[in-house]
Amino acid sequence: MPSSLPDSSAEEESNYFNNYPPPKALKNHEALTRAFIERHVESNRRVVLVTSGGTTVPLENQTVRFVDNFSAGTRGATSAEYFLEAGYAVIFLHRQFSLLPYSRHYSHSTNCFLDFMDERPSPSDHGPIVVRSEYQDEMREVLRKYRYAKQNNLLLLLPFTTVTEYLFELRALANLMRPLGANALFYLAAAVSDFFIPRDRMAEHKIQSSEVPVIDGDVYTGLHEDEPHSGSKKLVVDLDPVPKFLHRLVYGWAPEKSMIVSFKLETDPSILVYKARTSLQRYSHHLVIGNLLSTRKWEVVFVTPDPPGERWIRVPKSKRSKSISGVEDQVGLAESKPLVDSGDEVTQLQLGDTRAASGGVGGAAQARKGIEIESIIIPELVKMHSEMIEKANRPRS
CATH number at residue 320: 3.40.50.10300
Residue 396: the pLDDT is 80
Residue 6: the pLDDT is 54
Residue 310: the pLDDT is 95
In a domain, 219, yes or no: no
Residue 257: the pLDDT is 96
In a domain, 241, yes or no: yes
Residue 111: the pLDDT is 74
Residue 322: the pLDDT is 86
Beta-carbon count within 10 A of 122 CB: 9
In a domain, 253, yes or no: yes
Count of domains observed in the chain: 1
Element (H, E) at 253: none
Residue 346: the pLDDT is 42
In a domain, 361, yes or no: no
Beta-carbon count within 10 A of 349 CB: 14
Residue 324: the pLDDT is 85
In a domain, 93, yes or no: yes
The vertex-186 CA angle with 32 and 175, nearest 5°, equals 50
SS3 91: strand
Q: Helices marked H in 264-373 — which ranges?
A: 272-283, 354-357, 363-369
Q: Which residues are bridge partners to 265 per DSSP?
A: 291
DSSP output for 28-45: HHHHHHHHHHHHHHHTT-
In a domain, 42, yes or no: yes
Q: Average pLDDT per run of 10 along the chain, which is 397 residues long?
A: 58 91 97 98 98 96 91 97 98 97 85 89 89 95 98 98 98 98 98 93 85 50 47 79 93 96 97 96 96 97 93 95 89 80 46 40 53 97 98 87
Domain of 177?
Answer: 18-115+131-204+237-336+371-392
Closest CA to 261 of 384, 78, 154: 384
In a domain, 213, yes or no: no
Residue 7: the pLDDT is 56
Residue 41: the pLDDT is 98
Residue 363: the pLDDT is 44
In a domain, 345, yes or no: no
C-alpha separations of 161 from 58, 59, 108, 129, 350 in Å: 10, 14, 19, 34, 37
Residue 85: the pLDDT is 98
Whether the bond between 198 and the residue before it is cis, its omega within 30 degrees of 0, is: no
